[in-house]
Amino acid sequence: MASSVERAVQIMKNSTVHRAALRISLIYAAVAALWVFFSDRLLEALIPELALLTTWQTLKGWSFVIVTTLLIYYLLRQELLRHQKTETALVESQRRLSTLMANLPGMAYRGRNDRDWTMTFVSEGCVALTGYQPEDLIGSKTIAWTQLVHPAERDEIWAQTQRALQVGDPFRLTYRITTVAGQEKWVWEQGQGVYSADGTVQAIEGFIIDITDRVMTQHTLEQRVAERTHELTALREVSHSMISTLDLEPLLLLILDQLKKVIDYSGAAIQMLQNDVLVMQASRRPDPLTAKVKVNYQPARIATIREMLETQQPVFLADVRQDEALVEAYESASGVPLNETFDYIRSWMGVPLIVRGRVVGMLSLAHRQVGYYEEKDAQLAQAFADQAAIAMHNAELHQQAQITAVADERSRIARELHDSVTQAIYSVTLYADATRLALNDGELAIVAENLNELRAMAREAMLDMRLLIFELRPPVLEEEGLVTALQTRLDAVEERSGVGATLQVTGERRLPLALENELYRIAQEALTNVVKHARARQVSISLGFDEAEVCLEIEDDGVGFDTAVDHSGGMGLRGIQERVEKIGGNLLVQSTPGQGTMLRVLVDS
């Protein structure tokens, strides 16, 4: 850069000297010509004597020398002063230009519009940008600029430049170059053409700056956004998967399987906090031998896990072998050194399972690579663990609800046994004793009447027992479906009880298991009413499916009842109403004494 500026300054200096010399010469020539022309004629006119004229001509000569000397001195002095000012201005301009070029954030250039991008001027910024000196690039002495450009982008930036030059617009380019050290850099270039009077491109000028940090930052940001999007998508899919089951044992294994989709591990386990001990409930390990080893942790003896419980934050170790207490826990469980059984455990992470602000367990992960887990993995693992803890809590609540439901059902069956079968058998005993006494007294009419009652009571007891046995061993809805379960019920109970039963189905399809179960229980209670109380000869079930709703309708030709009278406390209607409300359906009951009953349930599917 300095040599280029100095050459420009030298040219300007030479030009100034030339102009000054030309100007003084012209002034001297004009003064001399006027002096000679006018002085001789003036002397000849004023002094006629020859001797005296010769003396004055001599004086004129010396006056000319003195005047021209003074004139030349004055002119030279003025020119030298002007030249000094010009040179000072040029030096200052040179200094400013040098400072500007040295502080440009990149490389300024001027070059020819050819495929090699041949440079005719390059600023010192090219050293920091490319590692080459300006003289290496000027005239493509060492290397042409286009050779620095990434091969895959040379044709494209040439095409973009030519399109801009054709319409007289500036061009802006982003591309990669390779420095003298082989480093790849991203650069941004802005330039424009220098045109002749006829519009021909004579040169191109512009500057090029290094934007590698900016591009890398953008790429990193885009990568982080992509990773975060992937993580959130994975967490959403995991959340959907974990709510697919409410059975605790398969749920725990499902959680571990889904965890691997989010964070890689060589082995993982779920421990639940029981009496201040983290007891292993499920695990996924790389080999059958370690899969059988149940590792429990005592937080009071392991500072790392105690810290996790107290802070309710994940903890991770670059190498588990740095934690003697944790190593001891593994070795105590397996009975052999850690390297012999759990050689895959190097990097380790423990993540608390938190429900309603209380730690209920831990999700532990291990990886065979030392230092594998980082802070970002801990944050992602905690987000996963929060969803897993909720799913596990829901499964436990479901399990408790099932236990409660079983206990309630057992109590109901016990009441049914006491209220129906036990009382019927007791009545049979009383009638048998009365019949024996009447037979001893010879009262055959009473004997016959009692035997008929005994037969009716025995049949009623058999019916109640059949109903209770069927309730104890209902069809498996998950395998057979609602339609098959209803048909099995009709065949097993109603048909054997002498009640004609029909089932009509339209648009059959499977429903969610919970909904099928509630509809089956509603039908079961309604049919039990038909058999035990309605004294019906015929019952029909209609089950209709469409895209949005399902309709269950049960109709019999029994004795019916007055709907104006409150029957909510008996005949199973209370239980039916509760089940319909549970599934968010609508219940309609129509009945008239002596004309049968119709029950309809409509629910969204």
pLDDT digits (tens, 9 = 90+) for 174-226: 999 999 999 999 999 999 999 998 889 999 999 999 999 989 988 888 887 77
* CA 531/CA 384 separation, integer angstroms: 52
With bands split at pLDDT 50, 70 and 90, how would you rate the model's confidence at 9?
very low
Question: Residues of CATH 3.30.450.20 domain(s) within the chain?
Answer: 107-210
The yes-or-no verdict on residue 30 having pLDDT over 60 is yes
DSSP string for 479-543:
HHHHHHHHHHHIIIIITTTT-EEEEEEES-----HHHHHHHHHHHHHHHHHIIIII--SEEEEEE
Mean pLDDT in residue range 593-602: 93
Q: What is the pLDDT of residue 2?
A: 43
The Cα angle at residue 177 between residues 176 and 183, in degrees rounded to 5: 110
Query: What would the pLDDT profile of 393-435 be if each residue is shown by its tens digit?
Result: 777 777 777 677 666 666 666 666 555 666 677 677 777 777 7
- Candidates 285, 310, 307; CA nearest to 295 is 285
The yes-or-no verdict on residue 329 having pLDDT over 80 is yes
Strand order, beta sheet including 184-195: 119-122, 107-111, 201-210, 184-195, 171-178
The yes-or-no verdict on residue 541 having pLDDT over 80 is yes
Query: Backbone phi, then psi, for 329, in 5-degree steps?
Result: -65, -45
Q: What is the pLDDT of residue 124?
A: 86
The Cα angle at residue 28 between residues 25 and 29, in degrees rounded to 5: 85
Question: Higher model confidence: residue 332 or residue 144?
Answer: 144
Instruction: List the CATH code of the domain at 478-604.
Output: 3.30.565.10
Q: What is the pLDDT of residue 463?
A: 63
What superfamily would CATH give domain 226-384? GAF domain (3.30.450.40)
- Percent pLDDT > 70 in the chain is 80
Mean pLDDT in residue range 5-23: 57
Question: Residues of CATH 3.30.450.40 domain(s) within the chain?
Answer: 226-384
Question: Residues of CATH 3.30.565.10 domain(s) within the chain?
Answer: 478-604
Q: Cβ atoms within 10 A of the Cβ of 527, count?
A: 25
Q: What is the pLDDT of residue 1?
A: 42
The yes-or-no verdict on residue 44 having pLDDT over 70 is no
* CA 564/CA 591 separation, integer angstroms: 10
Question: Higher model confidence: residue 387 or residue 3?
Answer: 387
Query: Structure tokens of 265?
Result: 């591990």
The yes-or-no verdict on residue 8 having pLDDT over 70 is no
Q: What is the pLDDT of residue 451?
A: 81
With bands split at pLDDT 50, 70 and 90, how would you rate the model's confidence at 250?
confident
The yes-or-no verdict on residue 473 having pLDDT over 60 is no
Secondary-structure class of domain 107-210 per CATH: alpha beta
Q: What is the pLDDT of residue 587?
A: 93
Q: What is the pLDDT of residue 566?
A: 61
The yes-or-no verdict on residue 52 having pLDDT over 90 is no
In the DSSP assignment, the letter for residue 113 is S
Q: What is the pLDDT of residue 251?
A: 81
Q: Which segment of 29-38, 67-76, 576-585 scores lowest on mean pLDDT? A: 29-38
Q: Which segment of 11-15, 47-51, 299-303 scores lowest on mean pLDDT? A: 11-15
SS3 136: helix
The yes-or-no verdict on residue 10 having pLDDT over 60 is no
The yes-or-no verdict on residue 84 having pLDDT over 90 is no
Q: What is the pLDDT of residue 405?
A: 66
Query: What would the pLDDT profile of 303-327 be if each residue is shown by its tens digit?
Result: 999 999 999 999 999 999 889 888 8
Q: What average pLDDT is seen over the chain?
A: 82
Q: Which segment of 54-68, 121-135, 441-455, 500-514 scores lowest on mean pLDDT? A: 54-68
